[in-house]
Chains A and B, each alone.
Chain A
Amino acid sequence: MEIRPILSALRHNLTGALLIATQVALTLAIISNSASVIRERLAVSQRDSGVDAESRILTQRPILFSQIDLANLIQTDLDALRAIPGVESVTVTNQVPMGRSGWSSTFATERVPTAPNQSAGLYFDGGRLLETFGLKLVEGRGFRDDEIVNIDPKVQNPPPTGVLLTRRLAEALFPGQSQFVGRVFYQGNTPDSEELRVIGVIERFTTPWAQTGPGNEYAVVFPARYLNPFNHYVVRAAPGAEAQVRKAMEEALEKNEPGRVSNGQYSIQEMRDRRYRGERALAWLLVSVTVFLLGVTASGIVGMASLWVNLRRKQIGVRRALGATRGDIVRYFLTENLIITSAGIAVGVLAAWGLNGVLMSELSVPRLPLDYLLSGVLLMLLLGVVAVLGPALRAAKLSPALATRSV
């Protein structure tokens, strides 16, 4: 196709061409970076929590107020929950994955302050925690029922020493190792830190905060019931029994201690939705911005191309009179648009990288993957062609007889 004559024609419509190219460049820079943030956020929000069937694991946190004999009340509650038809397993714990608040502690392999330490979520297994959440063990064993102790915060208890930890935490504490059962580590890194011993390794178990960094899979599980009024009861409902279990759970807990205040009942799936609401909101905001931007840019191309077709009606007639086929006319406008879009894309690629650099240093946005940039380039080319097709087809329909009209 005739590139050079198109270029010299473009020189005479430079303002419009520059506007379109600028728009293409800005759009490409923004959407490719947005796409990479969208992917990152959605990927984060879909991370495996280690819980095998999130929608069937229900948790409720009734505040126990008759603070007399909490150990007994918890046991009564657990028995009542276990008796509900459709319940496969029940546990009591101090926090739940993605529940957004809970306990953490630091753990180290040496009792010296200079030793490296890892901050990890601290879970209490009031019995059957692995079974209820459906967590997988990759090494060692889970707790036996007789290992579960009651911890009363009002008195000093000897804490349990045999614990479970997640594989990620084990790998962070014991770099380069692959066997962890029997190893010793400490809660804290001071001389009086408690000594702990690994009895099992959990494949994956996310913390209540589900942090964005690797720490989201650092957790330690103690075999204990912590006797304060803020525990979570967790039940595992059989497939299909969720609704009925939800209702029965509410009723059973109310019956055991009438007038209790409950902070709501959630499945782990719902906890996930609440935890990642921000990530998803941002992702959807970016998606809608991207769609709008593409629409705006397309409208700009359509507007400018229509203008050029109108301004060149006569010229198009002359070209047709001189033997241009309809295809030639369409090709002319497509080529012209491709030249403009490509110029915009060339600048846009640089702008996308530049913007990404700034965003990375200022706002901890991920590095822009090359394939996202390439997809953005292809998308802009496609957008240009589709947007200009309408005006170009209209141009092709103009009659060659326009050439002989005087105005």
Chain B
Amino acid sequence: MLGYYLQLGFRNLRRSPVLTALIILTLAVGVAASMSTLTVLYMMSGDPIPQKSSRLLTLKLDNYPLDFNDTDEKLPGILTWTDVRNLREDAKGLRRTGLYGISGIVYPNKEGVKNFFADGVAVDADFFAMMDAPFIAGGAWTAAEDRSEARVAVIAAPLAEKLFGKESAIGRNLRMDSEEFRVVGVLHDWKPTPKFYRMDGNSSAGSDADDIFIPLSTALAAHRDVSGNTSCYSNADPGFEGLMRSECIWLRYWVELGSEAERAEYRDYLSAYVQRQKQLGRLPRPDKSALYNVREWLQEIEVVDDDTRLQTWLAFGFLSVCLVNTIGLLLAKFTARTAEIGVRRALGATRSQIFLQYLSEAAALGLVGSIIGVAGAFGMLHLLAKQSPNLEQYARMDPTMLATTVLLSVLAAVIAGLLPTLRATQVVPALQLKSQ
């Protein structure tokens, strides 16, 4: 029976074509607008590493000078080399890595490829296992290579292809600035969205994928400049050595715990660490150290910015207007068919049959609207990605969102169809239209 109703519904789309077109268009536009912004919001607030986001922690320490006049601003999420070195040496947790952004000129050993500027990160060997970064060839460097400040690198697949074409990159040399690095691993197209391990709320830092990963110890030994924020609240000696000795903050630190339950233990360790540093004359202010897991961190740095939220609000306001409009138009469409309903009732259709029939017609409208709406959502996402490079990583439709979109628009049409359909069932059986 439902098949008959749907068939009737689709056939009836052709009746009052202007009204039908308006309903479909209204639904499609509403769905496209709301789903494209919702997709961005969903991708932004998504968990980039759901399998272990509660076990990956980063931290903040307050190393401002005692008399520092800080307003109520948040502590920055970066640390001094002193602290990162100590935390690494204490070796708490399952795995750990310090991290800072680097950049440099890459000299390809290949015809027709010009020198170019590449972004990367200096990390510890554990980084790849911690982040579940997938390798297509080779693997991470070893802890021993970390200690020996080896000139090794892991590179992203696009860079490998650019430099070495189809040939294997493993064992080949990568020249960055004046240094040669031996490639030990190639990462599969790895793009955690958002790029949580480097993001600090300054959204431009998080958009592009990192191409080059080198050992942190190697980068420090080579005095590789910091690509990213460096903040100093007291004077530092000149040069990179000066920076490493200073109270300037510029590195990030991530630790992976064996289980979520170890967090309390780690928290205690961190408090004890701050106390020990205080005895050494560092970290003079009250202990404001804080631990964040991945989800807490994304919240802390406000990945979802006000504009995205504004757009989402707006899109749903827009969708609600479209829904109200659809209700009105469906009411118009169904009311124009009062005579037909009267005749159907007279021929023996029950209320529930009329209800189902007209709701099916609304659903058929929703289905057509959703197909156009999904196409529209893809178009909108494409536009959003083009408008703002920061949004590009988020403006991608995934299967969940696609299913949600289709479901939402059919649901929207059915909800919008409820009132007009209920009104249609109130029509009394009659074999002809009563004159007014």
A and B touch in the complex (CB under 8 A): yes
Q: How far is the CB of A217 from chain B (nearest CB, A)?
A: 20
Is B436 an interface residue when CB atoms closer than 8 A count as contact? yes
User: Using Cβ atoms and an 8 Å threshold, which residues of chain A touch B117?
Assistant: 63, 261, 263
Is the Cβ of A189 less than 8 Å from the Cβ of B69? yes
Q: Which chain A residue has the least Cβ–Cβ distance from B307?
A: A282
**Which chain A residues in 225-262 approach chain B with CB under 8 Å?**
228, 259-261
- CA A397 to CA B80, docked complex, whole Å: 82
- CA A314 to CA B332, docked complex, whole Å: 18
Is B400 an interface residue when CB atoms closer than 8 A count as contact? no
User: Using Cβ atoms and an 8 Å threshold, which residues of chain B touch A29?
Assistant: 317
- CA A320 to CA B120, docked complex, whole Å: 80
Is B177 an interface residue when CB atoms closer than 8 A count as contact? yes
- CA A285 to CA B324, docked complex, whole Å: 22
Is the Cβ of B239 less than 8 Å from the Cβ of A153? yes
Report which of B239, B317, B328, B387 forms a contact with A304, defined as CB distance below 8 A. Answer: B328
The number of inter-chain residue pairs (CB within 8 angstroms) is 148
Q: A2-17 vs B: 1/0 string, CB under 8 Å?
A: 0000000000000110
Using known A-B contacts A30-B321, A113-B67, determine if residue A37 contacts B328 with beta carbons closer than 8 Å.
Answer: no
Q: A273-302 vs B: 1/0 string, CB under 8 Å?
A: 000011011101110010011001101100
User: Which one of B55-63, B270-278, B308-316, B361-369 is at the A interface?
Assistant: B308-316
Is the Cβ of A365 less than 8 Å from the Cβ of B310? yes
Is B89 an interface residue when CB atoms closer than 8 A count as contact? no
Is B4 an interface residue when CB atoms closer than 8 A count as contact? no
**Which chain B residues in 267-305 approach chain A with CB under 8 Å?**
none
Report which of A19, A63, A116 forms a contact with B105, defined as CB distance below 8 A. Answer: A63
Is the Cβ of B310 less than 8 Å from the Cβ of A311? no
Is the Cβ of A285 less than 8 Å from the Cβ of B311? yes
User: Using Cβ atoms and an 8 Å threshold, which residues of chain A touch B332?
Assistant: 16, 303-304, 306-307
Q: Which chain A residue has the least Cβ–Cβ distance from B32?
A: A292
Q: How far is the CB of A346 from chain B (nearest CB, A)?
A: 17
State the majority secondary structure of interface residues on B: helix
Is A315 an interface residue when CB atoms closer than 8 A count as contact? yes
Is B325 an interface residue when CB atoms closer than 8 A count as contact? yes
Q: How far is the CB of B223 from chain A (nearest CB, A)?
A: 10
Is B26 an interface residue when CB atoms closer than 8 A count as contact? yes
- CA A281 to CA B386, docked complex, whole Å: 10
Q: B318-335 vs A: 1/0 string, CB under 8 Å?
A: 101110110111011001
- CA A30 to CA B325, docked complex, whole Å: 15
Is the Cβ of A293 less than 8 Å from the Cβ of B328? no
Is the Cβ of B331 less than 8 Å from the Cβ of A307? yes
Q: How far is the CB of A400 from chain B (nearest CB, A)?
A: 16
Is B115 an interface residue when CB atoms closer than 8 A count as contact? yes
Q: How far is the CB of B387 from chain A (nearest CB, A)?
A: 4
User: Using Cβ atoms and an 8 Å threshold, which residues of chain B touch A116?
Assistant: 69
Is B204 an interface residue when CB atoms closer than 8 A count as contact? yes
Is A364 an interface residue when CB atoms closer than 8 A count as contact? yes
- CA A312 to CA B105, docked complex, whole Å: 77
Is the Cβ of A300 less than 8 Å from the Cβ of B324? yes
Is the Cβ of B433 less than 8 Å from the Cβ of A292? no
- CA A78 to CA B417, docked complex, whole Å: 71
Q: How far is the CB of B100 from chain A (nearest CB, A)?
A: 16
Is B419 an interface residue when CB atoms closer than 8 A count as contact? yes
**Which chain A residues in 326-348 approach chain B with CB under 8 Å?**
none
Is the Cβ of B325 less than 8 Å from the Cβ of A278? no
User: Using Cβ atoms and an 8 Å threshold, which residues of chain A touch B177?
Assistant: 65
- CA A367 to CA B19, docked complex, whole Å: 38
State the majority secondary structure of interface residues on A: helix
Is A362 an interface residue when CB atoms closer than 8 A count as contact? yes
Is B265 an interface residue when CB atoms closer than 8 A count as contact? no
User: Using Cβ atoms and an 8 Å threshold, which residues of chain B touch A27?
Assistant: 321
Is the Cβ of A30 less than 8 Å from the Cβ of B317? yes
Q: How far is the CB of B348 from chain A (nearest CB, A)?
A: 24
**Which chain B residues in 195-220 approach chain A with CB under 8 Å?**
204
Report which of B237, B307, B310, B321 forms a contact with A26, defined as CB distance below 8 A. Answer: B321
Is A179 an interface residue when CB atoms closer than 8 A count as contact? no
Q: How far is the CB of B71 from chain A (nearest CB, A)?
A: 10
- CA A299 to CA B26, docked complex, whole Å: 9
Using known A-B contacts A26-B317, A407-B435, determine if residue A16 contacts B331 with beta carbons closer than 8 Å.
Answer: yes
Is the Cβ of B324 less than 8 Å from the Cβ of A114? no
Is B352 an interface residue when CB atoms closer than 8 A count as contact? no
Is the Cβ of B387 less than 8 Å from the Cβ of A277? yes
Using known A-B contacts A23-B328, A296-B29, A310-B336, determine if residue A190 contacts B65 with beta carbons closer than 8 Å.
Answer: yes
Q: Which chain A residue has the least Cβ–Cβ distance from B322?
A: A296
Q: Which chain A residue has the least Cβ–Cβ distance from B225?
A: A228
- CA A300 to CA B237, docked complex, whole Å: 70
Is B234 an interface residue when CB atoms closer than 8 A count as contact? yes
User: Using Cβ atoms and an 8 Å threshold, which residues of chain B touch A34?
Assistant: 314
Is the Cβ of B325 less than 8 Å from the Cβ of A190? no
Is B235 an interface residue when CB atoms closer than 8 A count as contact? yes
**Which chain A residues in 80-130 approach chain B with CB under 8 Å?**
100-101, 112-117
A residues contacting B by CB (< 8 A) are: 15-16, 19-20, 22-23, 26-27, 29-30, 34, 37, 63, 65, 100-101, 112-117, 153-156, 189-190, 192, 228, 259-261, 263, 277-278, 280-282, 284-286, 289, 292-293, 296-297, 299-300, 303-304, 306-307, 310-312, 314-315, 355, 359, 362-365, 406-407
Apart from A297-B321, A303-B329, list 11 A-B contacts with CB within 8 A.
A15-B331, A23-B321, A23-B325, A26-B321, A30-B318, A116-B69, A292-B33, A306-B332, A311-B335, A314-B436, A364-B306
Interchain residue pairs with CB less than 8 A apart (11) = A26-B321, A26-B324, A30-B314, A63-B105, A65-B178, A101-B204, A156-B237, A190-B234, A261-B115, A285-B311, A407-B435
Which 4 pairs of residues, A with B, have the shortest CB-CB distance?
A113-B67, A281-B387, A307-B332, A19-B328
